[in-house]
Amino acid sequence: MSCTYSPRALPNLNPIPPGTNTLLSDHVSTVSALTLSVPIYSLEPPTPPPPCSGDISLPNETLTTIFDHLSPSSLTQAILVSQRWRAVAERVLYSSVVITEDIPPRSSPSMLNLTGPLSSLSASVPSKTLRCCETLSAYPHLAETVRRFYIRWQTDSVEHPVFLLIIAQNIMKSLLPTFTHLESLELFFGLASLFPSLSNLFPTFSLPSLRQLSISGMGESPERLLRNHPRLLHFKLADYYKPLLLAPDDIPDLYSFRGYPVTAASILPGRPRAGPQPRRTPIRSLDLSGMSVTPTLLRDISRHLAHIEQLKVKLALRHTLHFALSGIRLLAALTTVLGAFHNLRRLDLSPTHAVDGAGREQPCRGRTSAVSRVGRRLLVPSTDHLPVQDGVVVDQRWHVDIAPARVHQPLAVEPFLLFLSGEHALHDRMALRF
């Protein structure tokens, strides 16, 4: 309600002479005139606001930037505002599709739309996946906006997986080819443990813009799929344990790989073959913190990846070394293996967890022997200067600062860095970089 001041002109009234005895009724018109002539504050009905036109003055690029910071639930509300907002918000909403779904042991027949003899069948159906895929199939303009598509199924409690296999096949055969601008794809169907053999059950597809691929639970070799994507940069194969039969020129732009060592040996540049490709850039940084590494595996890696300069490993202590070995003594025990990495400059053992407190009590015992065997300077970076006990610097917190002159005489080589703390760990996002 708006309060408006409305002054009005006073009429010309003849005042009542003093002492005149008249009835009030004789001057009703005068009283009425006076009442109407007095300036008043009148409450007038509010003027309806003009139609909202704020979005008209904003370009689509500005709206897209704003919508990029909204949650999916907020985007679904923005879609209802106007047709123009709907067009912009939908493109942002469906640009990244991430579905993580626990598949129930069985679903109701009404969800499957089954009739007749099949109405009594109870099967496991990923309801969220179905709704999303039906929407993308019904609206092709939305499928063109998808840049990231992740599906991860939890199938531990599934009793009848036949419908899951059919749905997965339809997704790969009919839906994925419509994602013409897809850049990142992750398919974790979890079907390998539910079927004895999945060979040739999944159709291949080709996505020209695909740069990142993660697959699991499909149970078959992905050679055909990889050959269809020569521009692939990042590849993750979680549950495949065999070598891949790839030619040297397959996936030449591969930048990172996560998977089992046997598979990695056959897919990474530097893998054993008739001769190396001179145009390939050798691997210089290797991150093995996601798995337990044995000295035998390190030795095999040194044979095929001879240019490693930065190495991050999680040692399998219980299986390969005495449980009490930790700190510099790990280095002393591995000098034979580490010596095979002729270009090694940085070693990060921070993912290796000490199994008891013995390693934390004296982490630098034996450092002189270890450094002399490796033949390089050992620098353990820290900002703390600690006391020396019996010629050995001891740090309960695994942070040690040792001057190069105390450790070894300066050599005409780059320093050998050993990181014992997670504070100094390498923070590479990719498993392998070259």
pLDDT in tens, 63-83: 888 998 888 889 888 888 888
For the chain, the first-to-last Cα distance in angstroms comes to: 69
Q: Summarize the confidence of residues 366-391 as an average pLDDT.
A: 42
Q: Which tens digit of pLDDT belongs to each residue from 12-30?
A: 444 445 554 444 444 444 4
Least confident of 5-19, 103-117, 145-159: 5-19
Q: Look at residue 58 in the predicted model and tell me its pLDDT.
A: 82
Residue 6 has pLDDT above 50, yes or no: no
Q: Which residue has the higher pLDDT, 244 or 11?
A: 244
Give the span between the Cα atoms of 44 and 80, in whole angstroms: 33
Give the pLDDT band (50/70/90) at residue 361: very low
Q: Look at residue 185 in the predicted model and tell me its pLDDT.
A: 96
Q: Look at residue 142 in the predicted model and tell me its pLDDT.
A: 92
Q: Which residue has the higher pLDDT, 280 or 418?
A: 280
Give the pLDDT band (50/70/90) at residue 378: very low
* Amino acid residing at 162: V
Q: Summarize the confidence of residues 162-178 as an average pLDDT.
A: 90
State what percent of residues in the chain have pLDDT above 90: 17
* Amino acid residing at 369: S
Q: Look at residue 151 in the predicted model and tell me its pLDDT.
A: 94
Give the pLDDT band (50/70/90) at residue 384: very low
- DSSP 8-state assignment for residue 120: G
Q: Look at residue 236 in the predicted model and tell me its pLDDT.
A: 92
Give the span between the Cα atoms of 125 and 181, in whole angstroms: 28
Q: Look at residue 251 in the predicted model and tell me its pLDDT.
A: 86
Give the span between the Cα atoms of 66 and 330, in whole angstroms: 53
Residue 172 has pLDDT above 80, yes or no: yes
Residue 332 has pLDDT above 70, yes or no: no
Domain borders along the chain are: 96-103+126-268, 282-354
Give the pLDDT band (50/70/90) at residue 186: very high
Give the pLDDT band (50/70/90) at residue 403: very low
Least confident of 31-40, 168-177, 192-201: 31-40
Q: Look at residue 260 in the predicted model and tell me its pLDDT.
A: 84
Maximum Cα–Cα distance across the chain: 132
Residue 181 has pLDDT above 70, yes or no: yes
Q: Summarize the confidence of residues 75-94 as an average pLDDT.
A: 89
Give the span between the Cα atoms of 346 and 364, in whole angstroms: 17
* Amino acid residing at 348: D
- DSSP 8-state assignment for residue 396: T
Residues in a beta bridge with 164: none
Q: Look at residue 184 in the predicted model and tell me its pLDDT.
A: 96
Give the pLDDT band (50/70/90) at residue 123: low
pTM higher than the cut 0.75: no
3-state class (DSSP) for residue 64? helix
Q: Summarize the confidence of residues 143-150 as an average pLDDT.
A: 94
Residue 159 has pLDDT above 60, yes or no: yes
What average pLDDT is seen over the chain? Answer: 68
Give the span between the Cα atoms of 73 and 96, in whole angstroms: 14
Q: Summarize the confidence of residues 227-250 as an average pLDDT.
A: 87
3-state class (DSSP) for residue 291? strand
Give the pLDDT band (50/70/90) at residue 306: confident
Give the span between the Cα atoms of 331 and 290, in whole angstroms: 20
